[in-house]
């Protein structure tokens, strides 16, 4: 299908309440219009996602935010102006426009304006925000290409919009501004340093803190897992003892493995992370070994967060 046809077909499907997989700069999302409760239900069913895990709402224009939330605090406005369109999700007190089904009964909602030209066109034409979690089965590695979504849901019947490789490669930073501090609920492509810098530039001196994952219901300790186990090791070579220990621990009959090798620069590493996990999962090996590169540059916090959750074992 040509890109223009994909865009109009996506708008049509979403307006009818059907699911559509949309490309974003972070990862692909599985979207439904917020005006269609049956579509939202299909997201949970298709992903086998527990109902306690709230969905992020995606908008095509910044002006759409005010209808979705009770109020936009100053810090949220500054961050949206700086980082939208982009990989930043703002968690704010929700308005009556957001159902309990979307927010999982919480009184807040996560909103973001994705930075992908195709998806922005779709959202602008639709004029209604969509709820969209990452387009993977619950707890699994997020898709960064259209064919990953196809592999994730064999026999699917929804449209998958082809939008190339997600250039950020990991999910958005989830931020909750409160009156006395900015809480980061999920680390992501936008770092705490960048958030602090932007607020300071606007003379807003407010602490920026990382919160434990319990504040973000879906950010569970075991998430993002590849199809075969991932083992985190401080060194690239494993002794016979290590191998025996890993096999016992993970109940493996043998212990062949390949290393997950990532570039030392954080942006590049993030872009390749999920793609590499998927590729290695298809190899005839028993587990994937991750050992951090010797020399790291940039901010690795979000990548380490995902790898920690994706690991079945840490040596
Ligand atoms: O980059 C992204 O954010 C991608 C793309 C598709 O936009 N979406 C994504 O959605 O990662 P999902 O559903 O896989 O992860 C959303 C995370 C979950 O951990 C959820 O618990 C948290 O955001 N979240 C959503 N609404 C929240 C709220 N009101 N309060 C706290 N956490 C919330
Ligand atoms: Mg997800």
Sheet holding 159-160, edge to edge: 159-160, 20-22, 29-33, 130-131, 56-58, 108-112, 88-93, 173-177, 182-186, 208-210
Distance 7 CA to ligand 2 centre (A): 24
Residue closest via CA to ligand 1's atom 18 equals 218
Q: Would you state the pLDDT for residue 129?
A: 98
In angstroms, what CA-CA distances link 63 with 87, 113, 128?
Answer: 17, 10, 12
Does any ligand 1 atom lie closer than 6 A to the CB of residue 54?
yes
Does any ligand 1 atom lie closer than 6 A to the CB of residue 129?
no
Distance 73 CA to ligand 2 centre (A): 27
For the whole model, what pTM was predicted? 0.96
Question: Looking at residues 74-98, what average pLDDT do you find?
Answer: 98
Residue 225 pairs in a beta bridge with: 140
How would DSSP label each residue in 134-180? BSSSTTBPPPSSHHHHHHHSTT--SEE------SS-SPPEEEEE-SS
Could you tell me the two tokens for 206? 């407010």
Question: Looking at residues 139-163, what average pLDDT do you find?
Answer: 95
Distance 218 CA to ligand 1 centre (A): 7
Question: Contact 224/141 with Cβ under 8 angstroms?
Answer: yes
pLDDT reading at 218 higher than 80: no
For a pLDDT cut of 70, what percent of the chain falls above it? 98
Per-residue pLDDT of 234-255, as tens digits, reads 888 899 999 999 999 999 999 9
Q: What is the dihedral of CA 296, 300, 306, 312, to 10 degrees?
A: 30
Does any ligand 1 atom lie closer than 6 A to the CB of residue 173?
no
Question: CA 309, CA 278: separation in Å to the nearest integer?
Answer: 15
Average pLDDT, rounded, for the chain = 95
Does any ligand 1 atom lie closer than 6 A to the CB of residue 85?
no
* φ, ψ for residue 100, nearest 5 deg: -65, -25
Per-residue pLDDT of 170-190, as tens digits, reads 999 999 999 999 999 999 999
Residue closest via CA to ligand 1's atom 17 equals 218
C-beta neighbour count of 180 within 10 angstroms: 7
- Using alpha carbons, select from 104, 119, 167, 89 the residue that is nearest to residue 7: 119
Q: How confident is the model at residue 287 (pLDDT cuts 50, 70, 90)?
A: very high
Q: Which ligand is nearest to the CA of 170?
A: 1
Per-residue pLDDT of 37-71, as tens digits, reads 999 999 999 999 999 999 999 999 999 999 999 99
Q: Would you state the pLDDT for residue 227?
A: 85
* φ, ψ for residue 110, nearest 5 deg: -95, 130
Sheet holding 230-232, edge to edge: 257-260, 287-290, 230-232, 313-314
Q: How confident is the model at residue 214 (pLDDT cuts 50, 70, 90)?
A: low
Q: Would you state the pLDDT for residue 213?
A: 66
Question: CA 177, CA 77: separation in Å to the nearest integer?
Answer: 10
Q: How confident is the model at residue 303 (pLDDT cuts 50, 70, 90)?
A: very high
Per-residue pLDDT of 27-40, as tens digits, reads 999 999 999 999 99
Question: CA 172, CA 190: separation in Å to the nearest integer?
Answer: 8
Q: Are strands 88-93 and 56-58 parallel, antiparallel or unpaired?
A: unpaired
């Amino acid at each position: 299908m040509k890109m223009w046809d994909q865009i109009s077909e996506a708008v049509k499907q979403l307006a009818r309440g059907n699911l559509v997989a949309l490309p974003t700069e972070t990862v692909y999302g599985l979207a439904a219009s917020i005006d269609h409760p049956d579509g939202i239900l299909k997201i949970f069913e298709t992903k086998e996602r527990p109902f306690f895990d709230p969905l992020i709402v995606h908008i095509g224009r910044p002006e759409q935010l005010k209808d979705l939330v009770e109020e936009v605090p100053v810090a949220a406005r500054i961050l949206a102006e700086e980082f939208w369109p982009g990989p930043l999700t703002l968690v704010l007190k929700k308005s009556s426009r957001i159902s309990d089904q979307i927010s999982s009964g919480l009184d807040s909602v996560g909103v973001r304006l994705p930075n992908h030209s195709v998806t922005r066109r779709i959202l602008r034409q639709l004029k209604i925000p969509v709820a969209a979690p990452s387009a993977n089965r619950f707890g699994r590695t997020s898709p960064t290409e259209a064919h990953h979504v196809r592999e994730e849901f064999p026999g699917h019947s929804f449209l998958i919009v082809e939008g190339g490789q997600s250039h950020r490669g990991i999910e958005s930073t989830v931020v909750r501004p409160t009156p006395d501090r900015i809480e980061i609920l999920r680390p992501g492509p936008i770092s705490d340093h960048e958030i602090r810098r932007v607020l300071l530039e606007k003379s807003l001196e407010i602490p920026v803190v990382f919160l434990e994952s319990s504040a973000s219901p879906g950010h569970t300790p075991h998430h993002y897992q590849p199809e075969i186990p991932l083992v985190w090791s401080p060194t690239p070579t494993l002794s016979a003892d290590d191998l025996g220990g890993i096999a016992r621990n993970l109940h493996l009959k043998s212990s062949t493995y390949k290393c997950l090798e990532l570039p030392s620069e954080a942006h590049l590493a993030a872009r390749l992370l999920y793609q590499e996990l998927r590729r290695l999962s298809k190899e005839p090996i028993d587990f994937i070994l991750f050992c951090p590169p010797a020399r790291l540059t940039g901010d690795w916090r979000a990548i380490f967060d995902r790898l920690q959750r994706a690991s079945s074992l840490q040596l």
